[in-house]
Amino acid sequence: MSFTIAHHLADVPIAGWEDLHGRGSRTSPFLSPRFLLPWYRALGRGCDVRVARWAPGGGPDEGLLFLCRCEEGGWIFLGGEQVADYLDALVAPAHAEAFWREFLERGLPALGGGPLRLPGLVEGTPALSVLPSICRERGLSCSVEEMDRAPFVSLPGSFEEYLERLGRKERHELRRKMRRAGELLPGLAFRVTRTPGELAIDFPSFVELHRKSHPAKEAFMDEAMEAFFREVAEGFLASGRLRLAFLSTQGVDVASVFQFRTDGALLLYNSGYDPAHREASPGLVLIARSIGQAVDEGCAEYDFLRGTERYKNDLGGVDRPVYRLTVSA
C-alpha cells in the first residue's frame, strides 16, 4: 500500500524527513524534524501520535502528515496552535492533490475516521485549494474558517527602498524611533548569534528578555517551553536557519528576536525586550534592523507570522489570512 500509518515519530526516518522538508523553497519550518521532535519531547509527551506516510510505488516517503489525537476526539496537526504558526501535510505542492485523495481514501479510515482539524493553513497552502473539492466528491463535510492573520512585508533591494515604501507617517515615525534609540542607548549595537558557543551565552539572554517583556510572556516561558526553545535554537543554528538577533547598549542586551530563515524569507517567531528601556523602543528598532538584515540576505519577504499586533502594520505588514479546515463525515 502507498499509505501506512506510523504510531511513533521514531518510525519516520530522519534523513528522509529532512530530505522531503528541504525540497520546497518555502516549506514551513514548523514541519521540520528540528521543530516537531523538540515539540514532542518538551511539550507533547502523552500525545497519541500518528504519522500518515505516503510512498507511491513503494519508494521513499513523498508525503508525511503528522497528527495527534484530540482530547475531544478526532485528530489535529502535531504541534498544535500554541507554538506552530504554519502547518500542513509535508508534500510537494505538485503532489498535494494525489496525496490528499489517497489520505482520505486510505489514511483517514485507518485512523478510525475524523473529525480532522487542521489549523495553521496559510493562504496559498495547497491543502486549502484541493481538500474542499475532494471532500465534496467523497461526501465529506469540509468547513474553512479564518483563524488569524499573518502580516508580511515584500522586500525590495535595499533598506532605503523599504523605508520609502512605508506610508509617510510610518516612515517618519520609524526614522524618529531609530534616531531616538541611538540617542538614549549609548553604544547601540546589533548582533546575530552565529556559533554554538555564542548560543550558549545568547540563549539565556533571549529567555530573560522574553520573560521581562510582559506577564503573559513570563507565564508562557516556563521550564518546558524554555527546553523546547533551546532545542529548536540548537537544531536550526546547526542547519544555518536560525537568526537569533539582539540589540544592546554598552554590552547589555535590551531586545531580542528569535527568527527562522527559509530560502525565501525571514520569519519572526518570538521576541523580548527590557521594559526599563521602553522609551527607546528597542524591540521595534531591532525588528527594523532585522528587516534590513533580511534585505541584505536577499530575502523576498519578512514574515511577522501569526498575530495582528499594531507594530506589524506600522512596519509595512500586509495581512495574509491563516485558516482552520475541518473535515468530518
Q: What is the pLDDT of residue 27?
A: 85
Q: What is the pLDDT of residue 113?
A: 73
- 8 — pLDDT class (breaks 50, 70, 90): very high
Name beta bridge partners: 85.
Answer: none
Which residue ranges does the chain devote to CATH 3.40.630.30?
A: 3-149+323-328, 152-303
Q: What is the pLDDT of residue 1?
A: 55
pLDDT 10s digits, 237-247: 999 999 999 99
- Comparing CA positions, the residue from 295, 29, 25 lying closest to residue 154 is 295
Q: What is the pLDDT of residue 232?
A: 98
pLDDT value at 196 more than 80: yes
pLDDT value at 193 more than 80: yes
Q: What is the pLDDT of residue 26?
A: 76
Q: What is the pLDDT of residue 57?
A: 78
pLDDT value at 329 more than 80: no
- Comparing CA positions, the residue from 170, 182, 152 lying closest to residue 282 is 182
State the CB neighbour count (10 A cutoff) for residue 281: 23
**What share of the chain has pLDDT > 90, as a percent?**
83
State the DSSP string of 174-196.
HHHHHHHHHHHSTT-EEEE--SH
pLDDT 10s digits, 302-320: 999 999 999 999 999 999 9
- Comparing CA positions, the residue from 161, 246, 137 lying closest to residue 201 is 246
pLDDT value at 25 more than 70: no
Query: Across the chain, what does the average pLDDT equal?
Result: 94
- 220 — pLDDT class (breaks 50, 70, 90): very high
Higher local confidence (pLDDT), 121 or 113: 121
Q: What is the pLDDT of residue 80?
A: 82
What is the CATH code for 152-303? 3.40.630.30
- What is the pLDDT averaged over residues 251-262? 97
CB 153 within 8 A of CB 317: yes
Higher local confidence (pLDDT), 47 or 287: 287
pLDDT value at 11 more than 80: yes
Q: What is the pLDDT of residue 195?
A: 98
What CA–CA distances, in Å, run from 111 to 73, 102, 133, 245, 256? 11, 13, 21, 42, 42
State the CB neighbour count (10 A cutoff) for residue 251: 7
pLDDT value at 124 more than 90: no
Q: Which CATH class is domain 3-149+323-328?
A: alpha beta
Q: Tell me which range, 76-85, 115-124, 170-179, is most confidently predicted by mean pLDDT.
A: 170-179
Extract the C-alpha cell encoding 158: 535595499
Q: What is the pLDDT of residue 255?
A: 98
pLDDT value at 74 more than 90: no
- What is the pLDDT averaged over residues 157-170? 96
pLDDT value at 228 more than 80: yes
